[in-house]
Amino acid sequence: MQRIGQLTTFLLLTFALQSFGQDRLSNMFNHYEQSADDEERDSLWNMIITEFETELQTKNFGKIIPQNLRHINIMQYNSENGVFASHTISRGFAEHWNYITRKNPDNTNEIILKEEDANPFYIEIHDLSKDEFLLLTKYIDMSFSCYSAYVMKVENNYTIKQDAFNNTQDVLFVCSWTNVDESYLGKPDPVTGLPTIEGKMAHYQPIPILFDPKNKTISYSFYSLKNGKKITRKAKYKNEKFKIKSYDARTFEE
């Protein structure tokens, strides 16, 4: 009976969404936002992903700009020459569907990289050469955030990570604390004699990885835990590599 109910729900949703008109994806978004049934929302989400992937591959595809959505988020970024594009559609805190598309000569788009139900999510994509691009991603946790950079090369319809950073690493990552408990034991309470708790939870902006497309330089900055001075690391893309090392505040190393 449960499977019959699920099938009935799916068929009704399919019929309803097809009858709404041309903008199927927008109607799916709205229906998802309005639904309070978990089973229906899961069915709708599967349909949204299928339709989203179909839309990504159509001719002259532009950005999808959803209106007034509370439960779905979409991020899209085009590379400088418009050949490569990154797309992320998300629901919830850590459920991201990530895609990279490449424009074909006939103006259709081919999905060349796909990550389902993933964390991190894609934020930027930049041209490095005809078949290479730089992909920037972001991972968010409860207490820290990590930005990552990858040099990707397209060969024979495969997208391959390149060992393009220090020590032949295929990723540059920058991790920083964003929520830190800075409370401490204060002076004793005059009535109870017990130590008071002073300070509070501190919130900090994550440290992003920045890319300058004109000069093909990658950089990031942080403050030294030893002396408080600002440290900036920068590298230019040369000989298919960036000579720059990663930073992780959680290791207390610089």
Distance of CA 179 to the CA centre of its chain: 19
Mean pLDDT computed over 13-27 = 59
CA-closest candidate to residue 161, choices 129, 121, 133: 133
Give the whole-angstrom CA distance, residue 30 versus residue 66. Answer: 9
CA 46 to chain centroid: 20
Q: How far apart, in Å, are the Cα atoms of 47 and each of 21, 31, 38, 51, 178?
A: 16, 11, 14, 6, 35
DSSP string, 190-217: TTT-PEEEE--EEE------EEETTTTE
Top-confidence range, 142-146, 173-177, 199-203: 173-177
**What is the C-alpha to C-alpha distance for residues 103 and 84, in angstroms, rounded to an integer?**
7
Does position 84 have pLDDT exceeding 70, yes or no? yes
The runs of H, that is alpha helices, within 35-121 are 38-56
Q: Which residues contact 198 (CB under 8 A, 6 or more apart)?
A: 183, 184, 185, 186
Q: Is the pLDDT of residue 196 over 80?
A: yes
Average pLDDT over residues 9-16: 54
